[in-house]
């Protein structure tokens, strides 16, 4: 097993192009299928040496072909193999037909399968070619297996899972292991797909790198390969002013904690200076609870304009605890020439007029980062949120393009997308990261990186990763205060 493309995600449609180009370049496509099937058989033997029966469920396409190769290999290895086919295997075409011809055991109809204790089910019904909802003959088996303790090893994808969107159509097998080929697909990392796949193993079946890279596109897994080289580096000449100035807007006296969490996280992420821009009525509360963070009174749009005359004020976080309404809208629009993380109430404030926000940041370099969770996303992009044909990656990409902003579409599978179509799916977040105030910390980290001059997409992607990394270091039971204090700048020596 060699995962040659650990940071890459290839959609099923792009994978079909990879296959086509591999065939055009003279590669033997049946050889690819045989290597895929052998990899499945090897994984079955490695993970389930105690299996009493290897039950291979074969579908009408090449996923089924992989299943027939695996079944033949398992028989040759002395396994007790039973094969069940969806439809008449005599109708198979191309490589799948060859694989069926090379399997010299009995094939029974899918409907005849009855699970038994000791079965390992090898699910080779549908993979990249799933094009519509599963038929009842397959959903029946999924329902039956959900009630018994029979492990499933999925070939390429658990059948029913859409490899592009990560959504079941309308159900999918619950696999313990998924063996996929060449590179992961979005469905392996997006939810709920990630949970349906179990442990994913990627096998190199011999398609040359140049062909894969031609179609790998601009969607990947969020890891350091995508941004580490773009992060700020401290040198002996660094001082607090060269490390940038982050301003976080505080809410009213009864809602100041969120902004302080953002400010502390920004400082921890490496910003040289952090100022809380606070309403006069909240200054005392803020002053009494901060030390390294500076406080400045910014009550209204005039005092904000005054503050902005200092051009060193380059990066801002607006939204955590700020309150929804006209003041948030006016402040965000006044910041249109600067780098801005708009979070929480800042996002919700534009529910009625999202275009005014998008237009303000439309020209020049991308400098707006929007960090919505699902509900906030629906406020700014109701049409995209309601379009069930789109997966989370497509939604985030379309929103980023429309908003001229980097989108951080939050969740356990946060997607970071840029207006130019680049997108990364985050996969290092532990479940205990979902806690009150966690989003405020994330906004602050991204703001801290923006303040240091990191480009918006890389700042957002690195911020999401560092946020999850800090939570992983802390372990379960963390609070947002713990999290903000635990943020560290990226360190290649310890974080890799």
Ligand X SMILES: NC(=O)C1=CN([C@@H]2O[C@H](COP(=O)(O)OP(=O)(O)OC[C@H]3O[C@@H](n4cnc5c(N)ncnc54)[C@H](OP(=O)(O)O)[C@@H]3O)[C@@H](O)[C@H]2O)[C@H](O)CC1
Q: Which residues are annotated as a binding site?
A: 62-66, 123, 127-133, 156, 159, 258, 321, 373, 410-414, 439-440
Please report whether residue 100 would count as binding ligand X according to CB under 6 A: no
Chain positions 455 to 484 lying near ligand X, rule: CB under 6 A, are none
Could you list the beta-strand ranges (E) of 240-321: 245-249, 273-278, 294-297, 315-318
Please report whether residue 44 would count as binding ligand X according to CB under 6 A: no
Answer positive or negative: Cα dihedral of 360, 416, 420, 311: positive
Pick the closer one to ligand X by CB: 170 or 475. Answer: 170
Q: Of the candidates 366, 321, 368, which has an alpha carbon nearest to the alpha carbon of residue 348?
A: 321
Pick the closer one to ligand X by CB: 66 or 201. Answer: 66
For the beta carbon of residue 9, count every other beta carbon within 10 angstroms: 26
CA atoms of 428 and 222, how far apart (whole Å): 8
Please report whether residue 165 would count as binding ligand X according to CB under 6 A: no
Q: Which of the listed partners (ligand X, K ion, none) does 232 bind, with a CB threshold of 5 to 8 Å by partner kind?
A: none
Please report whether residue 198 would count as binding ligand X according to CB under 6 A: no
State the nearest-atom distance from the C-beta of 443 to ligand X, in Å. 39
Binding-site residue positions for K(+) = 63, 123, 159
Residues that bind K ion (CB under 5 A): 123, 127, 154-155, 159
Pick the closer one to ligand X by CB: 130 or 145. Answer: 130
278 neighbors 286 (Cβ within 8 angstroms): yes
State the nearest-atom distance from the C-beta of 132 to ligand X, in Å. 4
Please report whether residue 130 would count as binding ligand X according to CB under 6 A: yes
State the nearest-atom distance from the C-beta of 183 to ligand X, in Å. 9
Site string for ligand X, 400-429 (x = CB under 6 A): ------------------------------
Residues 6+ apart with CB under 8 A from 283: 295, 297
One DSSP character per residue, 299-317 reads: -SHHHHHHHHTSTT--EEE
CA angle centred on 415, ends 134 and 459, rounded to 5° = 165
Pick the closer one to ligand X by CB: 130 or 406. Answer: 130
Q: Which of the 8 DSSP states describes residue 161?
A: B
Q: Of the candidates 7, 37, 55, which has an alpha carbon nearest to the alpha carbon of residue 216?
A: 7
Q: Which of the listed partners (K ion, ligand X, none) does 211 bind, with a CB threshold of 5 to 8 Å by partner kind?
A: none
Binding-site residue positions for AMP = 410-414, 439
Stretch in the footprint of ligand X (CB under 6 A) among 125-133, 296-304, 366-374, 448-456: 125-133
Half-sphere exposure of 182 (CA within 13 A, CB side): 27
State the nearest-atom distance from the C-beta of 61 to ligand X, in Å. 2
Tokens describing residue 425: 């799916």
Pick the closer one to K ion by CB: 99 or 154. Answer: 154
| DSSP-derived pairing of the beta strands 245-249 and 273-278 | parallel
Which element (helix H / strand E) includes 238?
Answer: none
State the nearest-atom distance from the C-beta of 172 to K ion, in Å. 9
State the nearest-atom distance from the C-beta of 432 to ligand X, in Å. 34
448 neighbors 269 (Cβ within 8 angstroms): yes
Please report whether residue 187 would count as binding ligand X according to CB under 6 A: no
Chain centroid to Cα 398, Å, comes to: 15
Pick the closer one to K ion by CB: 127 or 270. Answer: 127
Pick the closer one to ligand X by CB: 155 or 484. Answer: 155
| DSSP-derived pairing of the beta strands 119-124 and 107-109 | unpaired
Which element (helix H / strand E) includes 429?
Answer: none
Rg value, the chain, Cα:
26
**Candidate list 57, 71, 128, 471; residue touching ligand X; CB under 6 A:** 128
Residues 6+ apart with CB under 8 A from 195: none
Please report whether residue 399 would count as binding ligand X according to CB under 6 A: no
Stretch in the footprint of ligand X (CB under 6 A) among 32-40, 103-111, 189-197, 370-378: 32-40
The footprint of ligand X on this chain (CB under 6 A) covers a number of residues equal to 28
List Cα–Cα distances, 2 to 45, 204, 227, in angstroms. 18, 6, 23
Q: Which residues contribute to the site for ligand X (CB under 6 A)?
A: 15, 18-19, 32-33, 36, 59-66, 126-135, 155-156, 181-182
């Amino acid at each position: 097993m060699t995962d040659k493309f650990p940071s890459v995600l290839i959609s099923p449609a792009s994978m079909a192009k990879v296959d086509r180009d591999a065939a055009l370049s003279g590669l033997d496509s049946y050889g690819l299928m045989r290597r895929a099937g052998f990899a499945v058989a090897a994984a079955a033997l490695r993970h389930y040496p105690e299996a009493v029966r290897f039950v291979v469920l074969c579908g009408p396409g090449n996923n089924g072909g992989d299943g027939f190769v695996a079944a033949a290999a398992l028989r040759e290895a002395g396994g007790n193999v039973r094969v069940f086919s969806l439809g008449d295997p005599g109708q198979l075409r191309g490589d799948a037909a060859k694989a069926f011809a090379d399997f010299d055991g009995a094939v029974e109809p899918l409907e005849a399968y009855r699970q038994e204790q000791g079965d390992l089910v090898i699910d080779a019904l549908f993979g990249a070619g799933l094009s519509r909802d599963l038929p009842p003959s397959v959903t029946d088996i999924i329902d039956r297996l959900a009630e018994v303790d029979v492990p499933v090893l999925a070939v390429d994808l658990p059948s029913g899972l859409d490899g592009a969107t990560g959504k079941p159509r309308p159900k999918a097998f619950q696999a313990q292991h998924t063996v996929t080929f060449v590179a992961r697909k979005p469905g392996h990392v997006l939810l709920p797909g990630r949970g349906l796949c179990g442990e994913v193993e990627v096998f190199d079946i011999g398609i040359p790198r140049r062909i894969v890279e031609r179609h790998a596109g601009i969607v990947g897994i969020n890891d350091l390969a995508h941004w580490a080289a773009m992060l700020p580096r401290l040198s002996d000449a660094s001082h607090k002013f060269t490390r940038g100035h982050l301003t976080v807007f505080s809410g009213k006296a009864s809602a100041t904690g969120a902004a302080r969490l953002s400010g502390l996280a920004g400082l921890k992420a490496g910003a040289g200076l952090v100022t809380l821009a606070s309403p006069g009525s909240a200054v005392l509360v803020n002053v009494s609870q901060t030390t390294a963070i500076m406080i400045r009174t910014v009550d209204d749009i005039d005092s904000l304009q005054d503050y902005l005359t200092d051009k060193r004020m380059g990066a801002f976080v607006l939204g955590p605890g700020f309150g929804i309404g006209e003041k948030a809208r006016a402040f965000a629009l006044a910041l249109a020439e600067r780098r801005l993380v708009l979070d929480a109430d800042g996002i919700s404030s534009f529910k009625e007029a999202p275009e005014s926000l998008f237009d303000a940041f439309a020209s020049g370099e991308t400098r707006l980062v929007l960090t919505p969770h699902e509900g906030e996303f629906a406020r700014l992009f109701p049409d995209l949120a309601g379009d069930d044909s789109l997966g989370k990656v497509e939604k985030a990409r379309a929103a980023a393009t429309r908003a001229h902003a980097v989108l951080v579409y939050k969740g356990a599978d946060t997607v970071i997308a840029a207006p130019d179509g680049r997108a990364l799916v985050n996969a290092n977040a532990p479940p205990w990261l979902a806690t009150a105030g966690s989003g405020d910390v994330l906004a602050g980290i991204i703001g801290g990186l923006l303040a240091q001059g990191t480009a918006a997409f890389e700042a957002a992607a690195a911020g999401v990763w560092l946020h999850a990394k800090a939570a992983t270091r802390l372990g379960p039971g963390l609070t947002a205060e713990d999290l903000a204090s635990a943020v560290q700048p990226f360190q290649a020596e310890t974080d890799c």
